[in-house]
Structures are given as structure tokens and as C-alpha cells.
Amino acid sequence: MKDILAQLESRRETARAGGGQRRVDAQHAKGKLTARERIELLLDEGSFEEFDMFVTHRCTDFGMEEERPAGDGVVTGWGTINGRQVYVFSQDFTVMGGSVSETHGAKICKIMDMAIQNGAPVIGINDSGGARIQEGVASLAAYGEVFQRNIMASGVVPQISLIMGPCAGGAVYSPAMTDFIFMVKDSSYMFVTGPDVVKTVTNEVVTAEELGGAVTHTRKSSVADGAFENDVEALAETRRLIDFLPLNNREKAPVRPFFDDPARVDKSLDTLVPDNPNQPYDMKELITKIADEGDFFEIQAAFAANIITGFIRLEGQSVGVVANQPTVLAGCLDIDASRKAARFVRFCDAFEIPILTLVDVPGFLPGTGQEYGGVIKHGAKLLFAYGEATVPKVTVLTRKTYGGAYVVMASKHLQADFNYAWPTAEVAVMGARGAVEILYRSELGDKDKIAARVKDYEDRFANPFVAAEKGFIDEVIMPSSTRRRVCRAFASLRTKKLANPWKKHDNIPL
């Protein structure tokens, strides 16, 4: 018996060694952790239960039968994050470059199937050279099987991808279908075709970092939701994100202990909005002053900064926040902002996370670039996302909200539950000057008359009371009491039940 146990431990040690000390040292030299080190940091200490440690590939071509490392380049299993179950796979770059074989893919599929069956999030740590060329179409089939699991898991359990090394070719489509993608600066990259192929086909000279690095995907393409300085920070932030999310679509997000008075009044909010309607202010200040303990987890902070998305807690419960940002493009909606916010709203709705919308929007960004880029269809995505969402929705208008953008930003007409306005809010078809220039075109030559008309228009319409008189605003509230009113609104909606008409699925304008 002792010999058998010794043999088991020996085989385990061999599997845990991955590609050997030399390759582990090379991984560390690049500033990267190994697959197992990443899992240890991500999960609670001692909670990881591994599956398929001794699985090996089945390929016999190109001399592959001579090298059959245990685990086949990916570590899979389950564990806990702050006591809550998650499933995880971590590709091991020290074993054949983390390349995906038929059995490598089967290991990933196995834990994804278990995650769907048992209702727990899936976290994938990607660090792979791509498909294993020696296995040919079997490797591609493995990708296809993983993709199908991503699709089946979407909206059922949260899926998070951590890109901690190369992720190229067809491999990128698995993270692309997950809910959140985090990357590590200077050591991770994603692209469909690499720099060499790009140079051959288009004659463009570009580095891997410029083509698909963390900065590119968080600022330009919006593929990634966050970029971090190193593996340790990325893993710590993933633990923090998981704390805001439910385990699956049938459970509520966890309620955390809080020490912040829900009735807290913040007098500084009474002077947050400047007297000059054209002067910007930072909407993040309002978000952190509403949130429990000022804790705000922002999603896609570097992309489309004219709209803010992220998670806060109110009375210990997770709430998704969508807010216009007046300091960037005056808070206008554009193509990128609409796409970013629409995807976030749909995620919150899929996992029963209430949505708080903070509105200060002068309209959609004008220009040929926006029109040619399809702002009509992209803007409709956000409209559609809000309209179909059945979760509790609370909206606060802080300053101007003009035209179609007023309707899009979780208005009463899109089944928002509570619509509050600050006394500084303006709900109108357009700004006073623009409206006067259309209504009184014949008087444009007389500056005094136009000025008087503008003042008259502002006095009549540059306030929230016209909308309140029609029932489109539920209450005009004091800015300092925003946290109290919003907390009470969400508390009253905890038992909300709303179902849309039966359909196989909708046809959102993609």
C-alpha cells in the first residue's frame, strides 16, 4: 500500500511540475505566474479541487507519442472565492505552449458542463499558443466544443476570461463570448491574425502589443473590460468582481454587511451641478457618494468614457450603474457609448441585478462619422436593452436630458420603475437656443428679441416640472437626499415581478 501511495504522490508531483523548472523560470522571467500559481491566488486558500490531473493527449503523429505530459497543458477544477463556488481552468504555457488539443478542450468542456449543471461561475485563464498543429482538425473541433459551451452558459452563469499571455486565432472567440474580459499590460495580447500575417497581407508593420495588447483592447476596440499591471492585480480584481455577481441566473447577488447609513444625507451634492449649464462636473463623484462606503467597481473605464458603467452596493446589495459623464463629450451618447452601456444593461438584466441610471445627456453626438458608422442602429441597442430589461430600474435626472436621448436613458416610457429628478434637471426636446432658432426663425436678425425668447423658453421648459406635471417624473428630489431616496426605491422593488411576452428570442439590432 505504501508503494502505491508513493507512486500516486510521485505522479502528482510530476503533473504539478508542468513543463519543468526551466520553463517555469522562463515564465517567471516574463513577469508571468504559472497556471497553478494563478489558481492559488484566485481561489480561497486550500479550496481548489482539481479534475483530470493525469489526462494526456492521444496524438501519435509527428512523434507526439514520445511526449505525453500529464494534464495536457491545462489545469481544471473548482474552488471557492470568499466561500462561494466557482469553476476554473488555467492554461499552462509551460506545457507545449498551452496549445489546445482534443483532450485539452475536453477538460475545459467538462468543467463548463459542471458549472452550468450546478449553477456556478466559470473563470477561464488564457495563456496559450493556439491550436496544436500536430492534431489538425481535432484541435479545431475542441475549440468548437468550447465555443458551444460558452453559448449555452451565456446568461445562465457568469463567465469571466483572464487573458494572461497570448490568445490568437480562433482561440479569441471563446473569451469574446464571455461576460467580462480582463487583460494584463505588456504580457497579454489577443488577435485573430498576428503581426506577421498582417504584414504579409496588408503590408502594415505593427507589433503584437499595438495590434492586440491590453491598451488597444481597453481603449480602442472595447474587446476587454479592464487592463491591469500584473497577474496578481488582475486576479485580485477578479475576486472583487465575483463578489458583486450572483452564482447563476436563478439566484440573487450576495448581500454583504454594510456600515453606511442608507438615510445618509450628503449636502455637498446640493452644489455638485454648476450654475453654468455648459460647465462639466464629474459624475463619478455622485456615484461614489451614493454607494455604500464609496465602493465602485468600474467596467470598461478606458473606453467610451462619456458613459460610465460599473457596480456599487446599496444596503449591501449589488446594483449596476449606468451614468452619463459630462466631463467627456459633454456626456453625449455616441456609437461606442451606446454599445458599451447596452451590453452592460443586458448583463445586469440576465443576472437579476437592479439598474441605477444617472442622466445628464444633451443628446446624441452629431456628425457624419456617427451617421455613417450607424449611430441609428447602435443607439437603438441601448434603447432596446433598457426596454426589455425586467429588473428593478431607478433613474435620476441631474441636469439636462434632451431629445431622443431622454427616452433612451431609462425613461418612464421604457418601464423604469422610479424616475427622480433634481431641481436642476431640464427635460426638453432640445436646448433653449436651438429651439428658439427654429420656433422664431423670422426674428433671428434681432438679437434682443432672440435673447428674450431664449429666456422665456428657459423659464418655461428648463426645469423638471413640465415632465413632472405629465407624470413622466415621479418626484423632484433634493440632491443631498439622493442616496436615501434611491435606497428606499430599490428596497420597495425587491419583490418586483415582471415578465415580457413569450418569444423564442428577441431580435435586438446587432
Element (H, E) at 402: strand 393-402
Contact residues for 115 (Cβ-Cβ < 8 A; gap 6+): 87, 121, 122, 153, 157
Distance CA 237, CA 217 (A): 18
Summarised one tens digit per residue, pLDDT across range 382-421 is 999 999 999 999 999 999 999 999 999 999 999 999 999 9
End-to-end CA distance of the chain: 62
Q: Round the average pLDDT of the chain to a whole number and report it.
A: 93
Distance CA 185, CA 226 (A): 10
Least confident of 38-42, 63-67, 112-116, 331-335: 63-67
Summarised one tens digit per residue, pLDDT across range 427-459 is 988 888 888 888 888 888 888 888 888 888 888
Give the pLDDT confidence score for residue 266 in this predicted structure.
96
Summarised one tens digit per residue, pLDDT across range 71-89 is 888 999 999 999 999 999 9
Set out the domains of the chain in order of their start, with CATH numbers: 1-244 (3.90.226.10), 267-425+463-493 (3.90.226.10), 430-462 (no CATH)
Contact 395/416 with Cβ under 8 angstroms?
Answer: yes
Residue 13 pLDDT > 90: no
Q: What angle do CA 123, 128, 131 make, to 5 degrees?
A: 115
Residue 11 pLDDT > 90: no
Give the pLDDT confidence score for residue 339 in this predicted structure.
97
Contact residues for 445 (Cβ-Cβ < 8 A; gap 6+): none
Across the range 207-230, mean pLDDT stands at 95
Positions marked catalytic = 169-170, 404-405
Residue 63: band (very low, low, confident or very high) from pLDDT cuts 50, 70, 90? confident
Give the pLDDT confidence score for residue 471 in this predicted structure.
94
Give the pLDDT confidence score for residue 260 in this predicted structure.
94
Residue 206: band (very low, low, confident or very high) from pLDDT cuts 50, 70, 90? very high
Distance CA 493, CA 502 (A): 23
Distance CA 245, CA 493 (A): 19
Question: Nearest to residue 212, comparing CAs of 249, 255, 165, 149?
Answer: 165
Question: Nearest to residue 51, comparing CAs of 120, 122, 111, 125?
Answer: 111
Give the pLDDT confidence score for residue 445 in this predicted structure.
81
Beta-bridged to residue 232, according to DSSP, are none
Contact residues for 451 (Cβ-Cβ < 8 A; gap 6+): none
Contact 382/341 with Cβ under 8 angstroms?
Answer: yes
Across the range 291-306, mean pLDDT stands at 97
Summarised one tens digit per residue, pLDDT across range 129-144 is 888 888 889 889 999 9
Residue 408, CA distances (Å) to 60, 181, 384 in order: 58, 27, 8
Distance CA 84, CA 248 (A): 11
| The C-alpha cell that represents 297 in the structure block | 467597481
Distance CA 246, CA 476 (A): 33
Contact 134/96 with Cβ under 8 angstroms?
Answer: no
78-81-86-88 Cα dihedral, nearest 10 degrees: -60
Polymer length in residues for the chain: 510
Scanning the structure block, which residue is given the C-alpha cell 428648463?
462
Summarised one tens digit per residue, pLDDT across range 450-486 is 888 888 888 888 889 999 999 999 999 999 999 999 9
Question: Nearest to residue 252, comparing CAs of 347, 355, 354, 153?
Answer: 354
| The C-alpha cell that represents 315 in the structure block | 444596503
Give the pLDDT confidence score for residue 46 in this predicted structure.
94
Give the pLDDT confidence score for residue 48 in this predicted structure.
96
Q: How many CB atoms lie within 10 A of CB 126?
A: 24
Radius of gyration (Cα) for the chain, nearest Å?
A: 26
Dihedral sign (CA 182, 186, 187, 188): positive
Summarised one tens digit per residue, pLDDT across range 338-397 is 999 999 999 999 999 999 999 999 999 999 999 999 999 999 999 999 999 999 999 999
Scanning the structure block, which residue is given the C-alpha cell 442616496?
483
Residue 90, CA distances (Å) to 154, 190, 257 in order: 20, 16, 32
Q: Count how many Cα atoms sit within 13 Å of the Cα of residue 130 in the half-sphere of its side chain.
A: 14
| The C-alpha cell that represents 170 in the structure block | 480562433
Contact 95/18 with Cβ under 8 angstroms?
Answer: yes
Distance CA 263, CA 268 (A): 15
Residue 396, CA distances (Å) to 4, 296, 389, 426, 480 in order: 67, 18, 17, 12, 13
pTM, 2 dp: 0.94
The phi-psi region of residue 494 (left if phi > 0; otherwise alpha if psi is between -120 and 50; otherwise beta) is alpha
